């Protein structure tokens, strides 16, 4: 019997990329590839790249170069780039980065096994010419569901009887195609792909395409499969979850779907990410703040709060309206978690605009804040804007607002001392003890909870804990006796 083919998937970027990697893993496992964690032990290293901002693209290039070095002293024979940067730049990236043996776009995902085998055999796969993927779907959202377009994370095209153990689907003609990479009790689920918004600073719609929802039955089927794999918390991800259902004839479909997801056996918590403030609805706020097992968690993409900057960004709102939205949320769920990202140094941003942003941040009491300095992204409207700020000014504002954000989120964590929180235990080891996350803390981005003792705690367990201290954005908590002994 010939030696098995091995492949390692290295994932960079956001949770959406993690879902895409698990789809690729499912496809490869279904075709007989062995998945290994360490790229040095793989015949092929597949790097799922991020193409969001310059820093992320640099990290992706560095990962590709690091994987390429393995070819000199390891088992690795080929390095392949997939993901957003690969899709966004195609043949241009291939020419600029000859160290990568292939650059594969989203359209290659369905044939990923054949592509990798060709490359492993010494063949060449021609990289695609970059194109605007928004043009691949009809302008009308209602006409998009039947379009034949590659949508990473939506895969449902392999019959169950053809799949090995550990690869979804295990039943049902429209269950997901997916193989878990790791054993975390948390997993992301794609709710939709693409975006119809036209923010002047963002290039994501050009390479992720227009917005298209997954069918509720597909989301439920994948969640049930994940629960069977031991997952306790699912996080719904897309470029814009508040638009879910608009192409299925019901813009309020998320409000219907969430309670159904919360009832899936084995699931202890459902979290929704990527919400647009301008699209928040009273009914959605009600469901997010009052449904058992649905985390009262609001990942709101504010980006700024000064009206002139927001209009230049092609966005809506202002400081007072945003604060009113937060007041509404907290009136229904006082312990609700809120996080957001902001861009400073946007073209034309004045000192008064920056002061307005400071006013919002000071009053918002956010649990987690991401601050980014503006940089031109090719293909975006803002590249052509006048009144660009000097790099030194942007760096100074970035430093100033970042310090303020750190101070404010530390204060917010201190406010939580004395609260009783539901905490999902994620890891227990001798070095770090027991670590978990409360409802207001999303994976990777929002801090975590450190338990004062790990006795009786195991990963995947949901416990009640009282916050007794804080360390920056992280909390220190005591597990309540009756819960720990359960």
Task: List residues forming the annotated binding site for [4Fe-4S] cluster.
Answer: 14, 50, 84, 195, 199, 202
Sheet harboring 269-272: ordered strands across?
186-190, 233-237, 269-272
Count of Cβ atoms closer than 10 Å to residue 136 Cβ: 17
Phi, psi for 457 (deg, rounded to 5): -105, 140
Binding site, annotated residues: 14, 50, 84, 195, 199, 202
Cis peptide before 169 (omega within 30 of 0): yes
| CA-closest candidate to residue 416, choices 485, 344, 347, 367 | 367
DSSP type of residue 107? G
Q: Is the dihedral of CA 76, 82, 86, 91 positive or negative?
A: positive
Task: Pull the structure tokens for residue 352.
Answer: 């008064």
CB 265 within 8 A of CB 473: no
DSSP type of residue 294? B
Contacts of 243 (CB under 8 A, 6+ apart): 192, 195, 196, 211, 213, 251, 276, 279
DSSP type of residue 345? S
* CA gap 271, 237 in Å, rounded: 9
Residue whose token pair is 């916050």: 467
**Bridge partner list, 424:** 437, 462
**Bridge partner list, 278:** none
């Amino acid at each position: 019997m010939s030696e098995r083919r091995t492949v390692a998937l290295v994932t960079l970027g956001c949770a959406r990329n993690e879902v895409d990697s698990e789809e690729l893993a499912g496809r490869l496992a279904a075709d007989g590839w062995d998945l290994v964690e360490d790229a040095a032990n793989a015949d092929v290293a597949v790097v799922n790249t991020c193409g969001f901002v310059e820093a992320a693209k640099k990290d992706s290039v560095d990962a590709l170069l690091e994987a390429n070095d393995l070819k000199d002293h390891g088992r690795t024979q080929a390095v392949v780039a997939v993901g957003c940067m690969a899709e966004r730049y195609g043949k241009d990236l291939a020419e600029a980065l000859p160290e990568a043996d292939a650059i594969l776009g989203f359209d290659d995902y369905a044939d990923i096994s054949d592509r990798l085998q060709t490359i492993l055999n010494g063949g060449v796969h021609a990289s695609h010419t970059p194109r605007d993927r928004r043009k691949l779907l009809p302008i009308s959202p209602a006409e998009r569901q039947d379009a034949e377009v590659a949508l990473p994370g939506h895969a449902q095209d392999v019959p169950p009887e053809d799949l090995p153990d550990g690869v979804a689907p295990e039943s049902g003609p429209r269950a997901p195609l997916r193989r878990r990479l790791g054993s975390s009790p948390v997993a992301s689920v794609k709710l939709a792909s693409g975006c119809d918004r036209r923010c002047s600073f963002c290039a994501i719609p050009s390479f992720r395409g227009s917005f298209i929802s997954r069918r509720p039955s597909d989301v439920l089927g994948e969640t049930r499969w994940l629960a069977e794999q031991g997952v306790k918390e699912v996080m719904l991800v897309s470029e814009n979850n508040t638009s879910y259902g608009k192409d299925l004839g019901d813009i309020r479909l998320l409000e219907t779907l969430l309670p159904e997801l919360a009832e899936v056996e084995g699931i202890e918590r459902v979290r929704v990410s990527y919400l647009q403030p301008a699209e928040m609805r009273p009914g959605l706020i009600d469901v997010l703040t009052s449904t058992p097992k649905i985390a009262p968690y609001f990942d709101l993409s504010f980006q700024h709060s000064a009206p002139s900057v927001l209009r230049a960004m092609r966005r809506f709102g202002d400081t007072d309206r945003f604060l009113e939205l937060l007041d509404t949320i907290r009136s229904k769920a006082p312990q609700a978690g809120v996080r957001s990202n902001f861009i400073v140094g946007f073209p034309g941003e004045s000192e008064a605009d920056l002061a307005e942003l400071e006013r919002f941040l000071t009053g918002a009491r956010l649990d987690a804040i991401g601050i980014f300095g503006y940089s031109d992204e090719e293909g975006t409207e803002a590249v052509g804007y006048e009144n660009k700020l000097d790099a030194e000014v942007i760096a100074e504002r970035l430093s100033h607002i970042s310090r303020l954000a750190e101070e404010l989120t530390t204060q917010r964590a201190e406010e939580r001392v004395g609260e009783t929180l539901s905490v999902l235990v994620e890891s227990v080891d001798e070095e770090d003890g027991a670590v978990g996350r409360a409802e207001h803390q999303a994976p990777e981005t929002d801090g975590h909870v450190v338990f004062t003792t790990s006795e009786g705690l195991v990963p995947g367990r949901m416990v009640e804990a009282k916050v007794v201290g804080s360390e920056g954005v992280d909390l220190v908590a005591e597990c309540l006796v009756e819960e720990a002994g359960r």
